[in-house]
């Protein structure tokens, strides 16, 4: 492995959503701020969308980790492809509410309601985060809406944050769940990183991983990373990791454009997204002329 070669303590571009490596680029910081404002205001539904690889799961975990346990009770479902009954049991489990598997739907909803009332009575907010929400069946979304109907005179008993791919918007436009769309008061769509943010992202992740010897990626390498990844964090991680391996294999302590181009060619999902070279350089010239 290349860690010792580049003076790193740990892998800087792992695909695991480790909140230690959360980088507050513009769109992600805006989404994070939106989430904090929304839960503080007690909103019922909040929506965060983004294309594959834009960092939704990492943002979700960062957000959940930032909520203090004195004021919030949190629940996280990473796979919402559940039927309505399974969703209720999964939520009860996350809220540490023991439920007999034989409990009928009416009693199950009643038990959840009483538990949420107890949480509110203790002065806490209950927040449920659903990852990959675009996969949730429509009938399950309707049960989720019923849960968010529960409220005191001042606030909702359960706040729900939907994290999903951009297909989530089409999912929510279905006639049977139109009431949910109407109740989403805060939303944000995560955007890919621009060229300057790619540079910052790479530098910060290398720094967190232990780099203290100065830039490892040349400016031309960053240009190629931006071109090859189209600013999508997951692809940046894949390409940067491969480029580091190539540089290590060649005995080089600095990654240049050639290593990144080779990484792009070796990564079909990146080579399909890569901007044509002439468009890429025109976009860079335009930014630098400002």
End-of-domain residue from the set 124, 158, 189: 189
Does some domain include residue 21? no
State the residue range of the domain holding 43.
26-189
Strand-pair partners of 188: 48
- In whole angstroms, what is the distance from residue 123 CA to residue 272 CA? 51
Does some domain include residue 19? no
Does some domain include residue 78? yes
Residues 62, 106: one domain? Answer: yes
Does some domain include residue 75? yes
Residue 201 belongs to domain with CATH number: 1.10.8.60
Residues 36, 59: one domain? Answer: yes
Residues 177, 276: one domain? Answer: no
Residues 210, 118: one domain? Answer: no
Question: Could you tell me the pTM of the whole model?
Answer: 0.88
Note down pLDDT in tens along the chain; length 290 residues: 799 999 999 999 999 999 999 999 999 999 999 999 999 888 778 999 999 999 999 999 999 999 998 999 999 999 889 999 999 999 999 999 999 989 998 899 999 999 999 999 999 999 999 999 999 999 999 888 888 887 766 678 999 999 999 999 999 988 888 888 888 889 999 999 999 999 999 999 999 999 998 999 999 999 999 999 999 999 999 999 999 999 999 999 999 999 999 999 999 888 665 555 434 444 544 554 55
Residues 208, 129: one domain? Answer: no
Which residue has 């999903």 as its token pair?
164
Domain count, the chain: 2
219 close to 208: Cβ distance less than 8 angstroms: no
End-of-domain residue from the set 189, 207, 228: 189
Does some domain include residue 144? yes
Residues 272, 221: one domain? Answer: yes
Residues 30, 171: one domain? Answer: yes
Does some domain include residue 287? no
Residues 51, 166: one domain? Answer: yes
Pick from 227, 225, 230: which is nearest to 244 by CA? 225
Residues 232, 248: one domain? Answer: yes
pLDDT at 41: 84
pLDDT at 59: 96
pLDDT at 152: 67
Residue 167 belongs to domain with CATH number: 3.40.50.300
Residues 143, 241: one domain? Answer: no
End-of-domain residue from the set 189, 208, 235: 189
Residues 99, 132: one domain? Answer: yes
Which residue has 């399974």 as its token pair?
86
Residues 77, 103: one domain? Answer: yes
Does some domain include residue 18? no
Does some domain include residue 267? yes
pLDDT at 15: 93
pLDDT at 284: 44
């Amino acid at each position: 492995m290349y860690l010792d070669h580049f003076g790193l303590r740990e892998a800087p571009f792992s695909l695991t959503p480790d909140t230690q490596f959360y980088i507050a680029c513009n769109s992600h910081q805006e989404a994070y701020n939106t989430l904090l404002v929304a839960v503080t205001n007690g909103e019922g539904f909040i929506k965060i969308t983004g294309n594959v690889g834009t960092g939704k799961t990492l943002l979700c975990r960062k957000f959940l980790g930032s909520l203090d346990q004195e004021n919030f009770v949190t629940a996280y479902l990473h796979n919402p492809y559940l039927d309505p009954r399974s969703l209720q049991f999964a939520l009860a489990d996350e809220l540490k509410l023991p439920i007999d598997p034989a409990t009928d739907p009416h009693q199950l909803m009643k038990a959840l309601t009483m538990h949420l009332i107890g949480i509110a009575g203790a002065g806490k907010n209950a927040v449920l985060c659903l990852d990959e929400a675009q996969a949730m069946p429509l009938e399950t979304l309707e049960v989720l809406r019923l849960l968010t109907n529960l409220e005191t005179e001042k606030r909702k008993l359960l706040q729900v944050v939907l994290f999903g791919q951009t297909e989530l918007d089409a999912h929510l436009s279905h006639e049977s769940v139109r009431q949910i769309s109407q109740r989403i008061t805060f939303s944000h769509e995560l955007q890919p990183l621009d060229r300057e943010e790619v540079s910052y992202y790479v530098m910060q992740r290398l720094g967190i991983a232990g780099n203290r010897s100065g830039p490892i990626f040349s400016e031309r390498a960053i240009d190629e990373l931006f071109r090859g990844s189209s600013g999508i964090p997951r692809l940046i991680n894949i390409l940067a990791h491969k480029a580091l391996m190539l540089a290590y294999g060649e005995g080089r302590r600095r990654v240049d454009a050639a290593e990144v181009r080779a990484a792009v060619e070796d990564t079909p999902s990146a080579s399909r997204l890569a901007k044509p070279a002439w468009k890429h350089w025109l976009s860079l010239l335009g930014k630098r002329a400002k």
